[in-house]
Structure 1
Amino acid sequence: MAMPDNIGIIDCMLGIPDAEDRAEWFAPFRALIKDQQTLGQFAMPAQYMFKDIPQSGKQDDYLAWTVAQMDKHNVEKALVGWNENETSYRAKELYPDRFFFDLPINPNNGTEEVRRIKRIHAEVGLSAVSCFPSGTLPQVAINHKYMWPIYSTCEELGLPILLNVGIPGPRIPMETQKVEHLDEVCWFFPELKVVMRHGAEPWEALAVKLMLKWPNLYYSTSAFAPKHYPKAIIDYANTRGADKVIYAGYFPMGLSLDRIMSDMQNVPFKDEVWPKFLRENAMKVFGL
């Protein structure tokens, strides 16, 4: 049951910093935050949840620094958010075998966002689209009508959709991310692969129930140190859900790869689950 050391890991949530100060990653939803501790003291809005947030220090090449961290822990490939900036283009050009990309979107932009997805997918070859429902401004629920054109486009293009579900870490309202909203989406878009991000807590048991119900629904472990993986998810992966649970980290946003991989040694997955969790499920869902 120990984590094997001979698998080329695929990390389905990793970031590439652009600078030593990474606060800009959270700028899109900073306007939703009202409490003074977050606004005045936090470099990231969910800082209260994490200890020892990794710091890159000043680097001559943040992309090379990121790849070195991946190499240290046998992370063969990583899914990162595509931004139309120098870092994303360099990552694609210099390390085409190490990075694949999801496009973070804002459903409030309507058909303009649909056109943007299609344009960037044609240019880059996206592997997924992602959305932080509680972090949209205004907030848009998982099953809101504004999401329907996004889901339809993803289904048409064969792109999975990554959705933050459960209570958000930042101190902003949770209503838009209730796990129950996924039921309608999975029903209406049976060919759309839907991947849950960020835990689904406190509704992880419901998340398992919905994965049993819907063949197109998956769970990724992003933003959780392995010692805090929900028991319901571990039990599900070890029984009927071995093909549904996907490894995703949170480096360097809140967790170091050192911390993640150290904790991972103690996760009680069955031997046959590890290859699927660390690699094979990601290859299947994201078409790698």
Structure 2
Amino acid sequence: MVQQVIDCLVNVHFGETEHQPQFMTKVRDDYFKGPPSMFDPIDLSELLDEMDAHGVAKAILMDNLTTPSVTARKFVEARPDRFMLAIGGVNLLKPVASLRELTSVVADLPIAYAVVGPSFWGDGMYPPSDAVYYPLYAKCAEIELPLCVNTGIPGPPIPGEVQNPIHLDRVCVRFPELRLCMIHGADPWWDIAIRMLIKYQNLRLMTSAWSPRRLPDELLHYMRTRGREKIIFASDWPVLRQSRVVPEAKALDLPAEALDNYLYNNADDFFFRRSEEH
């Protein structure tokens, strides 16, 4: 019986802006078929109630260097026992000031990981193997901050080839100290992602924005066998609600140990133990 869950990607910032970018509304309407309420302001008690109902002990809330989420930081301040932050918004083209700010934020706030989305950066011109990312890789390795990189074809109508996991191959070779996690799955390149996970010790994959019952057979086989410590659960709440994805995850045909690892242990080891040690 799985006792606890860590949800490693939760969005509470959507309601902070009156109008979402067009690509986000298209993702909601065309890709996820979500309700208009998906982008409503979030109440702390509402989120905690859903977490408690489904055994979610901790959640990582998305934040941004350039446009900090008032809601996410307020939630973390109110319940540091339940929440940490994930930080995006590093300026890859003018990295020095941006990375100084990242270092300062990591020192002041409970940051679980940094995040970057190649398809969303520079009009999808820069794959993760491009040197434009190297200052970010070096800084995250230096301060021992895990870095999450979007992989797989994205939902919005923007270029997706830069998110092929093969672009991380050279990164893992050149930055072996960097703890790196592929997020939002790896569709349609699951086989490449799995091969990369086998090859590199410090690489993980997060299934955020994926319904567990839609995960491919090859990934589930990997989770049952040599990948028990490699795959991390996340919802991408409220895009996918915990009320949907946690029961789906618990219903997967996985050995108890593999399921515990997927829902809690792998995230605890990769993201949270670092914060407790520093």
| TM-based fold match above 0.5 | yes
Corresponding residue to 1:80 among 53, 58, 61:
61
Residues 146 and 185 of structure 1: CA distance in aligned 2, closer, same or farther (over 3 Å): same
SS across alignment from 1:102: strand
Q: Does 1:19 align with 2:3?
A: no
**Deviation per residue, 1:194-216 (Å, 9 max, x gap):** 10111111110111111111101
Q: In 1, distance between residues paired with 2:247 and 2:18? A: 24
Structure 1: unaligned runs, 5 residues or longer: 31-37
In structure 2, what is the equivalent of residue 278 of structure 1? 263
Decide whether the 8 Å contact of 2:123 with 2:159 is kept in 1. Answer: no
Decide whether the 8 Å contact of 2:13 with 2:70 is kept in 1. Answer: no
SS across alignment from 2:187: coil
RMSD: 2.2
Q: Does 1:170 align with 2:156?
A: yes
Higher RCO (CA < 8 A, seq sep 6+):
1
| Displacement after TM superposition at 1:112 (Å) | 2.3
| Displacement after TM superposition at 1:89 (Å) | 2.5
What code does the residue aligned with 1:45 have?
V
Stretch of structure 1 that moved more, 48-57 or 206-215: 48-57
**Deviation per residue, 1:235-287 (Å, 9 max, x gap):** 111000000011111210x2122221232243111122011111111111013
Decide whether the 8 Å contact of 1:164 with 1:198 is kept in 2. Answer: yes
In structure 2, what is the equivalent of residue 8 of structure 1? 4
Aligned residues: 268
Corresponding residue to 2:87 among 103, 122, 130:
103
Residues 121 and 231 of structure 1: CA distance in aligned 2, closer, same or farther (over 3 Å): same
Decide whether the 8 Å contact of 2:184 with 2:207 is kept in 1. Answer: yes
What code does the residue aligned with 1:281 have?
N
Q: Does 1:45 align with 2:41?
A: no
Alignment of 1:103-122 (within 5 A): 103-106=87-90, 107-122=92-107
In structure 2, what is the equivalent of residue 191 of structure 1? 177
Q: In 2, distance between residues paired with 1:85 and 1:188? A: 33
Alignment of 1:105-184 (within 5 A): 105-106=89-90, 107-139=92-124, 140-184=126-170
**Deviation per residue, 1:26-46 (Å, 9 max, x gap):** x4xx5xxxxxxx6xxx72435
In structure 1, what is the equivalent of residue 75 of structure 2? 91
| Displacement after TM superposition at 1:47 (Å) | 3.5
Q: In 2, distance between residues paired with 1:105 and 1:169? A: 19
TM-score of the two chains, using structure 1 as the length reference: 0.86
In structure 1, what is the equivalent of residue 212 of structure 2? 226
Decide whether the 8 Å contact of 1:143 with 1:184 is kept in 2. Answer: yes
Q: Does 1:238 align with 2:224?
A: yes
Alignment of 1:63-78 (within 5 A): 63-78=44-59
SS across alignment from 1:158: coil
Decide whether the 8 Å contact of 1:166 with 1:174 is kept in 2. Answer: yes
Structure 2: unaligned runs, 5 residues or longer: 274-278
Decide whether the 8 Å contact of 2:14 with 2:39 is kept in 1. Answer: no
Residues 257 and 85 of structure 1: CA distance in aligned 2, closer, same or farther (over 3 Å): closer
What code does the residue aligned with 2:76 have?
K
TM-score of the two chains, using structure 2 as the length reference: 0.89
Aligned-residue identity in percent: 30
Q: In 2, distance between residues paired with 1:192 and 1:199? A: 19
Residues 239 and 76 of structure 1: CA distance in aligned 2, closer, same or farther (over 3 Å): same
What code does the residue aligned with 2:44 have?
L
SS across alignment from 2:227: coil
